[in-house]
Chains A and B, each alone.
Chain A
């Protein structure tokens, strides 16, 4: 995908939102769901602990 966006806002949109997610999705697809979901489990479990402080 080539960037032809020239406006400041457009550039930000592309560089901050689109490009990183393109890369992440590509890496994740290559990694495969078994490893990926294992990583995600760790993050969700950490979040579960943070969410439940004080409960």
Chain B
């Protein structure tokens, strides 16, 4: 289930987009997921370098994870963790799993949704529909903005937050943005949100 559909038409796909679609197509067969953080800013046109794509997932059984890992290998992705370490990620004992693309240096930071903000991102995900063909589940922009400002907080994250706010200024659900801002104790007026 998705919250709303965000359409990007006449979008020119790049190699990173291709890789993200490929990964998410494999992933969605096994679990619910949502893309968060830097890639969201990039897909909406903020030209900044990145080496990783952050993806949160919901649940995995060991059996499902086994199938997913085989799928990954078949599709030119790789990981360096042992099977035991990989099982730990689904029990949230391990922070994240790095999944590498064999044909580039890009990799996926693959994390289990743990705190309430992760779960809110999954439950309120938007569907990004590119060229009426490619589908990606993305975290709500209204949550990403205060989350990046408060929880992440590097210069790069602040720039992403400001970029996303200004890019979506006329389309954002301002009440939601304020609600999430309050939840995260974030002073949104600093980036120009009228409170």
A residues adjacent to B (C-beta < 8 A) = 1, 13, 16-18, 20-22, 24-26, 28-29, 31-34, 36-41, 43-45, 47-48, 51-52, 55
Contact = CB atoms under 8 A, between A and B. Distances in A.
| The 6 A-B residue pairs with the shortest CB-CB distance in the complex, in nearest-first order | A25-B166, A34-B10, A21-B162, A1-B192, A44-B14, A41-B14
B21 interface: no
B167 A33 contact: no
Given A28-B45, A51-B51, A51-B106, A17 B162 contact: yes
Interface residues of B, number: 32
Given A21-B163, A33-B8, A55-B105, A44 B15 contact: yes
B19 to A, nearest CB: 10
A37 B192 contact: no
A33 B45 contact: yes
Given A45-B14, A48-B15, A18 B190 contact: yes
B193 to A, nearest CB: 9
B170 to A, nearest CB: 9
Contacts of A32: 10
Q: Is the interface of A mostly helix, strand, loop or mixed?
A: helix
A32 B167 CA distance: 11
Contacts of A37: 8, 10-14, 45
Contact of B105 (A13, A31, A43, A52): A52
Interface string B102-139: 00111000000000000000000000000000000000
Interface of B: 8-16, 42, 44-47, 49, 51, 104-106, 155, 158-159, 162-167, 169, 190-192
A43 B9 contact: no
A22 B15 CA distance: 27
A38 B12 contact: yes
A33 B11 contact: yes
A17 B158 contact: yes
